[in-house]
Chain A
């Protein structure tokens, strides 16, 4: 595979040979194992794989530290026990109970996930842990006054699973049942990961605020992750309960949580193949080391500590299993990354493969695109923006200048919805957008870059840009999991738009650089990628926060010309914060000067630069103005 093709692996390309081999192994395996004991272990490995992949959606894809995960496993198991046993004398069939378990567990997942809207990081971990503890206490104590959960004795004598008139009884039969569902979960994992949802989660994990500002609906995505993860755990719980023929509180306790997290860490968080391999290893290893059983948990604990310090990406993380089959070496990119980061010398014309269509219609110079009406922003003890009025018309480039702390970036944060303004209103294209969430504002057509560079550093150049299409696409879980034609078409569009916008920067961001991780780009290229990412939201107005910061004079000139070209040829309007006065001078239709959150001047550059007040506050009296 040539360098150019990395990162543009054809969509839906399926590695057929490995799949056939895996299927064959799964089918033949029980007949090669010496006894039921080992078939049981193999079945267990399948259950653990499902459980670990479910957690992988929550903690791996979305990066939410859910320490209540086993609670959903428990909910699935106990619901099966209640609805398919003599305990309440209800005997619903397996095919009906399984979806119920999935849905109910999912519902609990959504409920718990809704706390993640307000609570983050460590706190979320604790909330979920407390939730699991509450559930455990309920399971232990709800045998009185009415016996619901059976208390510490659990519920026994559950029904066998049955499907289409066939009843699963033997270990081998259950093994196949489990493997069937395990393969479904594996497939679903892969499909989820390579979709707008997968990219959205990864973006949230990388940088929550930036992903919000690029149009990802954080709340929805987090709930989705919680719901899917919990659903998988619930289904796994039901299958487990049916197989074991009983449920007990200690099937769903802290050790299980630790085990499943160890699988995730060992395999590499978010890495599907890694997690599967780790789940299999950690299902078999304890059996092989039975005599050291007492040290198992100590070993798991040490594993967490040591892996986190030494290899947080997991031990299986870097081994590409696909490449073993194809016999090719991975990571040719790695060396070129280093090389290119310092090099970056040639500027070529736009990419020829994907050409961004030019804007045909003329600007409507009278059309007001953005309007701020007496916008005020108060922080504790500080008025950051004070009664600001601002208008941007279609096709205009407006610069905001002013000393540090004048409130320039705060204005950006207000417009993009990161802070709702304390007072005042904001209109975009005739619609009021005051107080809307950032992802909604992106959808209306405003995108931004960040002064401090907030790329999704561990995602590739192409993926970074593709995330920006999140708000322009609609594929839901159903379409993604079934790979319906509409989903495939949408994916093609996402990739095309991303490449068109990257193509504007020519070879700097295209070709083999599609597959670069953002973190490996040079500083100036990262600034460029932020612009390409913003463009890929299909916006009309772009807010650039110090676009030339950290660039040398040559690069600065180039980016200045580039911004003009984006306006002239592609019809974007701009609001720009910039400190370099030569940039401001050459680029701006109008300049707005802020000081202490107030607008102290507005007009074309020369007017503003000769304004006494501006000289006093910003340019400096001595030799400040050009």
Chain B
């Protein structure tokens, strides 16, 4: 279904100085899909996201978003085009209020009226943070921060939402609820690309998955097939 491909990475290489972090990465994501990228520590997952966002530059290959090359654009332009991220460890601005955090999510927008509407929509989605809208980000609990980070990312009305390790540092119960939220947002039509170490959790909600090892994609399949893959069971699922 190439006509509704939203994001496509073709043969992307990334180097940090002499060290190669990503090699020949091929990823494509279709509209309204929920795709996950799995892998261990230092396998290059975060680098992949940073490369999509233009924080890190690929040394070879190309990245297309909605049919346009974005691999040479500054981050600002990429965000403007409709890519948004919930970063690893959420990265809430600790000394800005919840409201200000959300406002910054809409930093590149000027449609005041619609921003207000979206804000209400976020508060409907996460009533917990509505109660706390005048508090500093730092005072929120882990779960609330996760909601705020999600809300902040949605405030830019993204066409593609990137999520970097949403389960990291969260209590297991929160992990489950946070994946439910991801699923819900996806069902509302937002394309989501999740990077996760928690393979079980991610595959349980994803349509498809890629597996990254030492900077290379070693596996790519429907989520259901990955859950039954022998190598996956051994290396990542702990069920082998």
Chain A positions within 8 Å of B, measured between CB atoms, are 338, 341-342, 403-405, 520, 523, 546, 549-550, 552-553, 579-581, 595-596, 616-626
How far, in whole Å, are A619 and B172 apart by their CA atoms in the complex?
9
B168 at the interface (CB under 8 A from A): yes
B204 within 8 Å of A (CB atoms):
yes
**Interface set, chain B 33-54, CB cutoff 8 A to A:** 40-42
Residue count of chain B within 8 Å CB distance of chain A: 24
Decide if B172 touches A403 in the complex (CB within 8 Å): yes
Complex CA gap A342/B240 in Å reads 31
A521 to B: closest C-beta gap in Å: 11
When the two chains form their complex, are residues B239 and A623 in contact, meaning their CB atoms are under 8 A apart? yes
Interface centre among A338, A520, A620 (most CB of B within 10 A): A620
* Chain A interface SS verdict (over half): loop
How far, in whole Å, are A621 and B19 apart by their CA atoms in the complex? 38
**Which of chain A's residues have a CB closer than 8 A to the CB of B168?**
404
B200 interface contact, C-beta 8 A: yes
Pick the 5 closest A-B CB pairs, nearest first.
A550-B42, A404-B169, A405-B169, A549-B41, A623-B239
Question: Would you give the shortest CB distance from B27 to chain A, in whole angstroms?
Answer: 21
Q: Please measure, in the bound complex, the distance between the C-alpha atom of A621 and the C-alpha atom of B41, giving whole angstroms.
A: 22
Contacts of A624 in B (CB 8 A): 200, 238
Knowing A403-B169, A405-B169, A617-B171 are in contact, say whether A553-B200 is a contact too (CB < 8 A).
no
B237 at the interface (CB under 8 A from A): yes
Q: Given A546-B41, A620-B200, A623-B238, are A338 and B172 neighbors across the interface (CB < 8 Å)?
A: no
Minimum distance in angstroms from A586 CB to a CB of chain B:
14
Task: Tell me, in angstroms, the Cα distance from A552 to B216 when the chains sit together.
Answer: 12
A550-B41 contact, Cβ under 8 Å, with A617-B171, A617-B172, A622-B200: yes
Is B41 touching A579 in the complex (CB atoms < 8 A)? yes
| B214 CB within 8 Å of chain A | yes
* B73 located at the interface, meaning its Cβ lies under 8 Å from any Cβ of chain A in the complex: no
Q: How many A-B residue pairs have CB under 8 A?
A: 54
Write out the residue numbers on chain B whose beta carbons fall within 8 Å of the beta carbon of A342. Answer: 20
CA distance A621 to B239 in the complex (A): 12
Closest-by-CB residue of A relative to B17 is A519
**Residues of B at under 8 Å CB distance from A?**
18-20, 40-42, 142, 168-172, 175, 198, 200-201, 204, 213-214, 235, 237-240
Q: Are A618 and B18 in contact (CB under 8 A)?
A: no
> Residue on B with the closest CB to A522?
B19
Q: State A318–B240 Cα separation when bound (angstroms).
A: 54
Instruction: Give the distance to chain B from A510, nearest Cβ to Cβ, in Å.
Output: 22
Whether B18 and A341, one on each chain, are in contact in the complex, defined by CB atoms closer than 8 angstroms, is: yes
> Bound complex: CA of A184 vs CA of B200, how far in Å?
68
Question: Are A581 and B238 closer than 8 Å at their CB atoms?
Answer: yes
Name which residue of chain B comes closest to A405, CB basis: B169
**Does B239 lie within 8 Å of A338, measured CB to CB?**
no
Would you list 14 pairs from A and B whose C-beta atoms are within 8 A, ordered by A residue?
A341-B18, A341-B19, A405-B169, A520-B18, A523-B19, A550-B40, A552-B213, A617-B171, A617-B172, A620-B198, A623-B200, A623-B238, A624-B200, A626-B240
Q: How far is the CA of A54 from the CA of B142 in the complex (A)?
A: 51
Shortest CB distance A422–B (Å): 21
Residues of B close to A621: CB separation below 8 A: 172
* Contact indicator B235/A622 (Cβ below 8 Å): no
| Bound Cα distance from A207 to B104, whole angstroms | 36
- 12 additional contacts (CB under 8 A) given A341-B19, A342-B20: A403-B170, A403-B172, A405-B142, A523-B42, A617-B172, A620-B175, A620-B198, A620-B201, A621-B172, A622-B204, A623-B239, A625-B238
CA of A624 to CA of B237, assembled, Å? 7
The smallest beta-carbon distance between A482 and chain B, in angstroms, is 43
- Shortest C-beta distance, B236 to chain A (Å), equals 10
Q: How far is the CA of A331 from the CA of B239 in the complex (A)?
A: 50
Residue pair B235, A553 in contact (C-beta under 8 Å)? yes
Give the distance in Å from the alpha carbon of A341 to the alpha carbon of B16 in the complex: 13
Distance in angstroms between the alpha carbons of A127 and B170 in the assembled complex: 43
CB closest residue in chain B, given A581 = B238
CB distance A618 to B239 under 8 Å? no
Q: Report the Cα distance A552→B44, complex, angstroms.
A: 13
Which A residues are in CB contact (< 8 Å) with B171? 403, 595-596, 617
Chain A residue numbers with a CB within 8 Å of B237 are: 623
Which B residues lie within 8 Å of A405 (CB)? Answer: 142, 169
A523–B16 Cα gap in the complex (Å)? 13
* From A579, A580, A581, A620, contact of B172 by CB (8 A): A620
